[in-house]
Structure 1
């Protein structure tokens, strides 16, 4: 994930700007393995006196064609890759639109994927996890915490079981409070899938059931999903709002057990909201 800010003197032609844009993107793709479609840039043009720079400090001589690139990257690249990128960038800019290497200034900063949101309020870590899972296509032996966090979020937020199923161990154990009408212990991926294939509102307990994922917290050997639920128990017909926790235990890059911690009394009683 990258974002590029480009600062240069005002008055350049559209073709000049297009050549600058293409040069930095091509260099990122070729030398830093940036995805070809990951192309987000802002070009800022400045008038006389609005760009302040020394003509000879640590390089130069710099002319009025001085151009500055500020590149934000979600990955901290090694020095060798950065050296190749800098050389490729000045070479492409010199070819077209004809910027002298002495006029090219680059500053790279690193920020984690969580600091990106490409659209729809979706955090960058979820985007990265989804892309990683799509690329793996079910062939993985182990999964990262970021990928699991994304999968668990999708499970509760959208009812999408596809991302999480490959992450389960073959003998995964699902435990629900015995005091729930649908409580008990279930073993295996098929049992897990069968339980979550049914929406809460489709079982005999609830008339309706809506879930909000407050957060999914990843720790050393587990993940915790904290949910706020708004539901109508058939026993009372009254709307209740309550929280519950799902604990996902992890070992060897797989989810080995899942346990629900819930206030089971709300299935038969509870204040109207």
Structure 2
């Protein structure tokens, strides 16, 4: 999501400002594949003396209409795309509001997605992962592998929101779910359908727990695994007692797909010997 800051001399008309804003947006959409509704800008107008620039260094001659575009992006677009963007931007500015090409100054900065939060305190990597997975869902079968960031997002959604949708396409057909045999619902289960059935309900299908709430402490990812550490607050169905305990889920990864899922649980943490 390119974020644009436009700095220029004060005193321009509303129509001029709108035309400048539209020109840079259209150039981003045309040359950097920005979504048309991905439009975030701040326009700063400066008094005389607040814009300091050499009128002839590295270009020019610059006039009092000098305008600076500072564009912060979460993706590296590459030199060819940037060349096209610069050229298209100055053309649209000259054709529309009438900005001289010599007065157009552009600074592009790339920041990693984790340095962005667009709203609600959600980290930018999760937003990017959600968008890419949503696009893949619209075209089933087009994705054979998934990124570390996408898997981190999917695992987080699985436990935090009980949303199985993002993770199911990531499971290999022979994925093995392993639960401690000391649990009433322990054992090994093979295939995405078995995985989906387990996470579609309370652990054990409601036979052990009256309620089961999960807090995701953290999700850590590497090339060959994803680990989720959880703190659970659950009510035992047999006694009505509330217990709080931690566990760890290990997701094995190979070739960009999830191959195995294993629960590590301290089953002695509960009075009944059941954990999930």
Partner of residue 93, structure 1:
93
Kept in 2: contact 1:173–1:257 (CA 8 A)? yes
Shift of 1:126: 1.5
Question: For residues 45-56 of structure 1, what are the structure 2 equivalents within 5 Å?
Answer: 45-56=45-56
Partner of residue 117, structure 1:
117
Kept in 2: contact 1:201–1:209 (CA 8 A)? no
Q: Are residues 1:148 and 2:148 paired?
A: no
Residues in 2 aligned to 1:201 and 1:94: alpha-carbon distance in whole angstroms: 67
Stretches of 4+ aligned residues off by more than 3 angstroms: 234-238
Q: Are residues 1:227 and 2:223 paired?
A: no
Partner of residue 105, structure 2:
105
Unaligned 5+ residue runs, structure 2? none
- 1:14-45 Cα offsets, whole Å, 9 max, x none, are 11111011000100111111111111111111
Task: Select between 135-144 and 85-94 the one with higher mean Cα deviation.
Answer: 135-144
Q: Are residues 1:261 and 2:264 paired?
A: yes
Task: Select between 118-127 and 230-239 the one with higher mean Cα deviation.
Answer: 230-239
Q: What is the DSSP-based 3-state SS (H/G/I as helix, E as strand, rest coil) of the residue aligned with 1:152?
A: helix
Task: Select between 121-130 and 12-21 the one with higher mean Cα deviation.
Answer: 121-130
Residues in 1 aligned to 2:163 and 2:105: alpha-carbon distance in whole angstroms: 46
Q: Are residues 1:249 and 2:252 paired?
A: yes
Unaligned 5+ residue runs, structure 1? none
Distance change (3 Å), C-alpha of 1:21 and 1:201: farther
Q: Are residues 1:176 and 2:183 paired?
A: no
Q: Are residues 1:78 and 2:78 paired?
A: yes
Of residues 123, 142, 167, the one that matches 2:170 is: 167
Residues in 2 aligned to 1:115 and 1:79: alpha-carbon distance in whole angstroms: 23
- 1:42-91 Cα offsets, whole Å, 9 max, x none, are 11111111111111111111111111011011111221111111111111
Partner of residue 30, structure 2:
30
Residues in 2 aligned to 1:215 and 1:45: alpha-carbon distance in whole angstroms: 43
Task: Select between 261-270 and 61-70 the one with higher mean Cα deviation.
Answer: 261-270
Supply the RMSD in Å over aligned alpha carbons: 1.6
Q: What is the DSSP-based 3-state SS (H/G/I as helix, E as strand, rest coil) of the residue aligned with 2:127?
A: helix
Kept in 2: contact 1:5–1:70 (CA 8 A)? yes
Partner of residue 18, structure 1:
18
Kept in 2: contact 1:216–1:226 (CA 8 A)? yes
Kept in 2: contact 1:235–1:267 (CA 8 A)? no
Q: How many residues align?
A: 270
What TM-score results when the alignment is normalised by the length of structure 1? Answer: 0.94
What TM-score results when the alignment is normalised by the length of structure 2? Answer: 0.93
Kept in 2: contact 1:233–1:266 (CA 8 A)? no
